[in-house]
Amino acid sequence: MRIACDTGGTFTDLIVESDDGQIKMYKAATVPQDPVQGMLDAATVAAGDWKLSLPDFLGRCDLLIHGTTHAINAIITGRTARTAFLTTAGHPDILVLREGGRAEPFNFHVPYPSPYIPRALTFEIPERINAAGAIVTALDEEATGRILDDVAASGVEAIAVCLLWAIANPVHELRIGDMIRQRLPDVPFTLAHQLNPTLREYRRASAAAIDSSLKPLMGRYLSELTSRLASSGFKGRTLVLTSQGGMMDAAELAKQPIHAINSGPSMAPIAGRYYGAVDSKLPLAIVADTGGTTYDVSLVRRGRIPKTRETWIGKPYRGHMTGLPSIDIKSVGAGGGSIARVDKGGLLHVGPQSAGSVPGPVCYAAGGTQPTLTDACLVLGYLDPTFFLGGRMKLDPDAARQAIESTIAAPLKLDLYAAAAAIVEVATENMVQAIEEITINQGIDPSEAALIGGGGAAGFNSVWIARRLNCPLLIMPETGAALSAAGALMSELRDEYREMFLVTSDAWNEPAVNSLLAKLRERCVAFVDRAGASLQQARIEFAVEARYAGQVWEIELPLKHDHYAGEADLAGLLEDFHAHHEDVFAVRDPSSVVEFVCWTAAVSCPLGRNDLGRMPADPAASRRSASRQAFFAGSGIVETPVFALASLPEGDVMRGPAIVETPFTTIVIDPRASFWHGPSGSLLIKP
């Protein structure tokens, strides 16, 4: 038996896959100050459903896959370790100057952001290596020793090391690592060339700074996670999800915790790719995961999930760049817990502030006083106050009405229903704009894509989002309320290794390229051995970052070979690059020299199925069918049929209005839409 757990801002989702492939889903409130407790609470709910004690339930589990926001929350809230930054003498401002960009170049009211590690904790190391890897100034070990004494005296808890051109020759970084082990044995550190051997100095430095600052915190968290699970009866293997869409053993991830920054959200596109393939023949899928706090949007293009190196924590140019590739996800502060307010100018806003799990929306009756999207949907009749979370939680509609009436309706001079509908409309527009940034702004037409709605709050307004984008199909998976956790069950053990080696098409060095690719393959094989997986089942994929000569930025090109022999192989590689460049930028230049910069090998090891089983039918839920009054803009209050998803026959097309419920989500279908129950268990909607 395997379990996957995703800790969100409001709810902790848990999916159990039994040995016969069936899956069951559970939710519990996230405990912000103790995320592990939220996971154990969800496991306790699952154990009760299986009529077992928590130790007996966990004792039956072979594998636990965990997605966590602990790392990124620590960065956002400033709870990372006090970290020192060691760099080449004369280059102390790498983290200050960054890459020089500004979101608003002429808005001088916006202060330039502070560096991730302050200048007061930046130390200059007397050494210098040039771009060719030659030592210009030898490392002054005596001076470096004194600097490390100063580092120790400053009370730091971690150290980041990023020397100029260490990617060409790492000898000085490696020696400094040895000296840190000798002089500060209890202080964790990160060497930039080992973590992120990329060409750009700021991205290497930023990655090293972020990674090292997370090591004490994530080391403690992952250690506590495994120990508390063990004390609760779990004897299996604990894996943690990564930003790259894979998973790693908890102990392995603790060595490079930067990979946990987008741990949970990276799994939604994995599940979205699966449902997009089984429920649709469209070439594109937009995966929109609506939680209580954020709205996370990603793409699947012809079965591939795009990645980006432009991963910012916070706003672009104002936040901090991770410098490492991760699944391309656009997140905005919009979700079921997004707070609605009217500003001094009389404009309605929804989000980015969220009520979260504590105190939660007003209707939770847990201390919340500000109306949210969930409160608006309750007032509009979309939610059954007695059936939230399958009846485990009762909602207070009177409190929601009063909050919207006093906070939104009165200032805007609207009636109650119009005010609640306005909240839904503004939230919808915020979500549409997030999708447009990742589609239209990148030359992708949403009218050629299926919209896949995930997250517990996705059903509130996904029909209107799909219609606004002109998407021909909306897919609401039966596991959609826990889409990231569902994706975790299909994810694989995964890691990536990269090496810098600049070679051009007009000065092609075939022996050096083959030697480098062989070295990368050896590292992948070593990972498979450490993971205890089968090399026969493992998949190793090679790629290279390449560009036309004179271009500033590279694009990642998947490689068809891991060994090159002769001019025909080089010609094939160049044609692949030209075609890929044309696919991305709509232009090719076969006469230009191509520069190959950084080479990558990604290794993946499957640990289970690459698909999802079905959820068993709940007899009580399938009998649940009724109607209630719901408000729809343009139609007013309408007597609306209510169906349990499990009660709908497969393939029968029905017309809205309708409300389709599961114990974990409510899907609102307005009078203009039609819908049917698909063979995969998904609810399919034509907006």
Q: Mean pLDDT, to the nearest integer, of 409-429?
A: 95
Structural domain includes residue 372: yes
Supply the CATH number for residue 568's domain.
Answer: 3.30.1490
Give CA–CA dist 376/604, Å, rounded: 44
Same domain membership, residue 443 and residue 381: no
Q: Tell me the pLDDT band of 618, cut-offs 50, 70 and 90.
A: low
Residue 323 structural domain: 265-334+427-489
| Residue 619, pLDDT score | 60
**Shared-domain flag, residues 500 and 598:** yes
Q: Residue 425 pLDDT more than 90?
A: yes
* pLDDT value for 646: 86
pLDDT band (50, 70, 90) for residue 325: confident
Percent of the chain whose predicted confidence (pLDDT) is above 70: 98
pLDDT reading at 219 higher than 90: yes
Given pLDDT bands bounded at 50, 70 and 90, which one contains residue 393?
confident
- 445's tokens: 């037409």
Question: Could you report the per-residue pLDDT of 142-187, keeping only the tens digit for each?
Answer: 999 999 999 999 999 999 999 999 999 999 999 999 999 999 999 9
- Per-residue confidence (pLDDT) for residue 437, from 0 to 100: 87
* Residue 9: pLDDT over 80: no
- Residue 672: count other Cβ atoms within 10 Å of its Cβ: 16
Top pLDDT among 95 and 393 is at: 95
Over residues 231-239, the mean pLDDT reads 93
Tell whether 316 and 463 lie within a shared domain: yes
Residues 312 and 432 in one domain: yes
Q: What would the two tokens of residue 371 be?
A: 């109306």
CATH code: domain of residue 291: 3.30.420.40
48 pLDDT above the threshold of 90: yes
**Cβ neighbours around 431 below 10 Å, total:** 27
CA distances from 256 to 198, 237, 261, 314, 545 (A): 16, 19, 11, 21, 22
Strands (E), 228-294: 237-241, 247-249, 284-290
Which residues of 71-194 form beta strands (DSSP E)? 83-88, 122-125, 128-129, 135-137, 158-162, 189-191
Q: Number of helices (H) and strands (E), helices first, in the chain?
A: 19, 34
Q: What is the pTM of this model?
A: 0.87
The tokens 């990742």 sit on which residue? 438
Label residues 576-596 b or e (16+ Cβ within 10 Å = b): bbbebbeeeeeebeeebebbb
Average pLDDT over residues 311-326: 87
pLDDT value of residue 313: 85
SS3 per residue for 417-451: HHHHHHHHHHHHHHHHHHHHHHCHHHCCCHHHEEE
Q: Could you tell me if 556 and 623 lie in one domain?
A: no
**What is residue 191's three-state secondary structure?**
strand
Report the alpha-carbon distance of residue 478 to residue 684 in Å, rounded: 10
| Residues in Cβ contact with 20 at an 8 Å cutoff, skipping those fewer than 6 apart | 613
**pLDDT confidence band for 259 (50 / 70 / 90):** very high
Tokens of 301: 């293009």
With tokens 């009749």, the residue in question is: 381
Q: Model confidence at 412, in pLDDT bands (50, 70, 90)?
A: very high
* Higher pLDDT pick, 256 / 331: 256
Q: Which of 150, 183, 217 corresponds to the end of one domain?
A: 217
248 in Cβ contact with 114 (< 8 Å):
no
Tell whether the model's pLDDT for residue 113 goes beyond 90: no
Residue 50 in domain:
no
Choosing from 217, 249, 284, the residue where a domain stops is 217
pLDDT value at residue 53: 95
Q: What integer is the mean pLDDT of 120-124?
A: 97
Check residue 130 and report its DSSP letter.
-
Whether 122 and 134 map to the same domain: the answer is: yes
Secondary structure element (H or E) that encloses residue 526, with its range: helix 510-531
User: What pLDDT band is residue 683 in, cutting at 50, 70 and 90?
Assistant: very high
Residue-level pLDDT at 390 = 78
Do 152 and 213 have their domain in common?
yes
Q: Are residues 272 and 161 in the same domain?
A: no
pLDDT at 620 (0 to 100): 55
Q: Which residue has the higher pLDDT, 37 or 333?
A: 37
Convert the pLDDT of each residue in 530-556 to its tens digit.
888 777 789 999 999 999 999 988 999
**How sure is the predictor about 578, in pLDDT bands with cuts at 50, 70 and 90?**
very high
What pLDDT is stored for residue 540 in this prediction? 95
**Per-residue model confidence (pLDDT) at position 307:** 83
Q: What is the overall mean pLDDT for the chain?
A: 91
With a CB cutoff of 8 Å and minimum separation 6, the contacts of 399 are 362, 363, 365
- Grade residue 625 by pLDDT with cuts at 50, 70 and 90: low
**Does residue 449 lie in a domain region?**
yes
- The pLDDT of residue 375 is above 60: yes
- Residue pair 423/376 in contact (Cβ under 8 Å)? The answer is yes
Q: In what order do the strands lie in the sheet with 539-548?
A: 23-29, 11-17, 2-7, 63-67, 237-241, 247-249, 493-504, 594-605, 539-548, 555-558
The predicted model gives 304-317 an average pLDDT of 84
Domain contains 681: no
The rounded distance, in Å, linking the Cα atoms of 561 and 338 is 48
Closest CA to 6 of 49, 69, 73: 69
Q: In this predicted structure, which of 39-43, 332-336, 514-518 has the lowest mean pLDDT? A: 332-336
For 512-527, the pLDDT digits (tens) are: 999 999 999 999 999 9
The total number of structural domains in the chain stands at: 5
* Same domain, residue pair 313 and 441: yes
Mean pLDDT computed over 383-388: 90
Cis peptide before 188 (omega within 30 of 0): no
% of residues, the chain, pLDDT over 90: 66
3-state helix, strand, coil in the chain (%, to 5): 35, 25, 35
Tokens 């649940």 -> residue: 624
Same structural domain for residues 312 and 421?
Answer: no
Q: Mean pLDDT, to the nearest integer, of 656-674?
A: 93
Residue 170 and residue 299 share a domain: no
* 384 in any annotated domain: yes
Residue 109 forms part of a structural domain: yes
CA 466-29-9 angle, to 5 degrees, is 55
Question: Are the C-beta atoms of 513 and 488 separated by less than 8 Å?
Answer: no
Q: Identify whether 636 is part of a domain.
A: yes
Instruction: Evaluate if residue 99 carries a pLDDT over 60.
Output: yes
Beta-carbon contacts of 154 under 8 Å, excluding residues fewer than 6 positions away, are 82, 84, 121
pLDDT value, residue 640: 95
Cβ within 8 Å of residue 67, ≥6 positions away: 4, 5, 6, 7, 240, 241, 263, 264, 266, 267, 484, 485, 488
Q: Judge whether 57 lies within some domain.
A: no
Closest CA to 222 of 242, 241, 240, 245: 240
Mean per-residue pLDDT, 258-271: 87
pLDDT tens digit sequence for 100-109? 788 888 888 8
Domain CATH number, residue 95? 3.40.50
User: Which pLDDT score is estimated for 142?
Assistant: 96
Give the model's pLDDT for residue 621. Answer: 55
Least confident of 16-25, 80-89, 221-230: 16-25
Give me the pLDDT at residue 624, please: 53
Query: Same domain, yes or no, for 344 and 271?
Result: no
- Residue 132 makes CB contacts below 8 A (sequence gap 6+) with 168
Last residue within a domain, chosen from 402, 425, 448: 425
Q: Give the ranges where 28-81 is alpha helix by DSSP (H).
A: 35-49, 54-59, 70-77
